[in-house]
């Protein structure tokens, strides 16, 4: 049976964390603990089969140089175009922050809720007040279960009075929504539709979009929508993105039929803007404090644990799934309680530049480099800040800015093999976004976004 490390024992002296779960991190409030075994890179060949879907853009991504992929929403998802020997993901990062990029994000499946009761239904399954979203606008939202855990954190697009699209993060929401309506019996249809997005991100994104659809794009506000045609095909465009840079998403209708037309039109128009096809830039979204479902949060994470307390409104009178639990947790926090074990924080850390995806949730210790008490979820190197940055979970009492920590990096990134690097809790985002989120705006006005 696994046993915890002795208090104060150096992790460097423990060589079997590759074979067992680290029990010193308090996960007592979870049913399924995060797997904290430090197994490192485990090269395997991905089997491309029909059990996992290929998006309408899969062949186009391959033509653009995609050499590796992951699975997201049961669909193959490109995660690398520039090979390591040619500079890897940091070359893609340079294109994002200096020019303009296109991402194949068809894995953001679109679940349509349509019908006379659409507004009431959607308002019941998300925490925010949907009645305040006007047609042809959207919002970042969360859906919770009755225990308050976050099931999904999609962008919600309101296409019409009676039609909404959930642009999903990495969890299957269609079956959840259908199941909820088995009990509610509201007058809505719930189904995945043949709409697939790409993201256009970077400082030259507006210029490229104007070349594609004309000057009307300049009037689209943050989270606003525009119906247009790209490559002669019908699209919905939103001013949204997963990068913290200026950007848009192009949602192609009938994407299975017309993917080539839209994609090639973007490539042609983008040539003069130095457009580059890249993978989703997790290094930039980390700097912006943007969360990744399944990595930074999941169905056992409360909004308050991952800095999404602003998504739990105080003034929404209508009932929604998870409301009772979330309001009870907020009341506990406001009275000085600690209703959960771990809190997501921003961290700056030493070591060699982290320039690729982490294969494990790297472990965090206190300043004394003793037994692990937390774990890193999303690390990368920030060229602008000149340091490694990360999101990670630490004990609730260690969440405060300035708290000193140590992080156990793999030897390839460690300053000295077998020894941890120094780290410190800092505010998020690490650098400003082109379009500040509600959380960033609240923080800038001195309001606590935890609850």
Instruction: Please give the annotated binding residues, written as ranges.
Output: 249
Integer Cα distance of 422 and 330 in angstroms: 32
What sign does the dihedral 291-294-299-301 (CA atoms) show?
negative
Burial (CB count within 10 angstroms: exposed 0-12, middle 13-18, buried 19+), residue 127? buried
The answer to whether 99 and 202 have CB atoms below 8 angstroms apart is yes
CB 71 within 8 A of CB 54: no
How far apart (Å, rounded) are the C-alpha atoms in residues 306 and 297? 7
Angle between helices 255-270 and 205-213 (to 10 degrees): 120
Separation between Cα atoms, residue 329 and residue 302, nearest integer Å: 9
Nearest to 88, CA basis, from 296, 274, 354: 354
The number of residues in the chain equals: 451
Largest separation between any pair of C-alpha atoms in the chain: 65
- Of the candidates 247, 272, 258, 284, the one whose C-alpha atom is nearest the C-alpha of residue 102 is 247
How far apart are the C-alpha atoms of 348 and 382, rounded to whole Å?
10
SS3 19: coil
C-alpha to C-alpha distances, 10 to 218, 372, 394, nearest whole angstrom: 56, 9, 18
Nearest to 439 by CA among 286, 246, 319, 307: 307
DSSP per residue over 310-374, as a string? GGS-SS--S--TTHHHHHHHHHHHHTT---SSEEEEEEEE-SS---S--SS--EEEETT--S--E
- Cβ count near 297 (within 10 Å): 26
Contact 236/227 with Cβ under 8 angstroms?
yes
How many angstroms separate the CA atoms of 176 and 111, rounded?
Answer: 11
Q: Residues 187, 116: contact at Cβ < 8 Å? A: yes
**Phi then psi for 253, rounded to 5 degrees?**
-75, 150
Q: Which residues are annotated as a binding site for substrate?
A: 249
Task: Give just the sign of the alpha carbon dihedral 51, 102, 223, 312.
Answer: positive
Return the DSSP state at 293. B
């Amino acid at each position: 049976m696994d046993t915890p490390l002795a208090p104060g024992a150096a992790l460097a002296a423990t060589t079997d964390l590759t074979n067992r779960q680290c029990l010193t991190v308090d996960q007592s409030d979870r049913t399924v603990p995060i797997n904290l075994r430090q197994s490192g890179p485990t090269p395997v060949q991905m089997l491309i089969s029909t059990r996992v879907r290929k998006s309408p853009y899969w062949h186009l991504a391959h033509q653009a140089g995609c050499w590796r992929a992951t699975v997201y929403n049961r669909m193959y998802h490109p995660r690398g175009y520039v090979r390591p020997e040619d500079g890897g993901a940091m070359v893609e990062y340079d294109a994002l922050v200096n020019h303009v990029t296109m991402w194949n994000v068809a894995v953001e499946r679109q679940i349509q809720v349509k019908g006379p009761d659409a507004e009431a239904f959607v308002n019941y399954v998300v925490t925010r007040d949907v009645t305040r979203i006007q047609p042809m606008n959207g919002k970042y939202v969360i859906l919770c279960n009755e225990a308050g855990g976050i099931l999904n954190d999609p962008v919600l697009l309101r296409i019409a009075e009676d039609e909404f699209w959930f642009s999903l993060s990495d969890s299957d929401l269609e079956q959840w929504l259908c199941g909820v309506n088995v009990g509610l019996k509201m007058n809505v249809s719930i189904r995945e539709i043949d709409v697939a997005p790409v993201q256009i991100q970077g400082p030259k994104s507006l210029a490229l979009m104007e070349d594609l659809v004309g000057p009307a794009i300049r009037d689209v506000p943050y989270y606003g929508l525009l119906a247009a045609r790209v490559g002669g095909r019908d699209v919905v465009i939103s001013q949204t993105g997963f990068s913290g840079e200026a950007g848009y998403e192009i949602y192609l209708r009938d994407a299975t039929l017309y993917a080539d037309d839209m994609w090639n039109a973007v490539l042609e128009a983008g040539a003069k803007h130095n457009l580059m096809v890249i993978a989703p830039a997790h290094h930039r979204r980390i700097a912006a404090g943007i969360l990744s479902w399944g990595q930074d949060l999941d169905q056992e994470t409360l909004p308050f644990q991952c800095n999404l307390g602003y998504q739990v409104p105080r003034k929404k009178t209508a009932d929604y799934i998870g409301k009772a639990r979330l309001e009870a947790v907020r009341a506990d926090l406001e009275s000085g309680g600690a209703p959960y074990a771990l809190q997501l924080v921003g961290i700056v850390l030493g070591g060699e530049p982290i320039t690729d995806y982490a294969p494990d949730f790297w472990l965090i210790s206190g300043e004394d480099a003793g037994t692990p008490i937390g774990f890193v979820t999303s690390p990368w190197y920030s060229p602008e800040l000149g340091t490694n940055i990360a999101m990670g979970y630490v004990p609730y009492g260690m969440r405060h800015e300035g708290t000193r920590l140590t992080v156990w990096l793999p030897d390839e990134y460690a300053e000295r093999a077998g020894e941890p690097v120094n780290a410190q809790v800092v505010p998020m985002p690490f650098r400003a976004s082109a379009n500040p989120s509600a959380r960033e705006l609240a923080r800038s006005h001195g309001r606590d976004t935890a609850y």
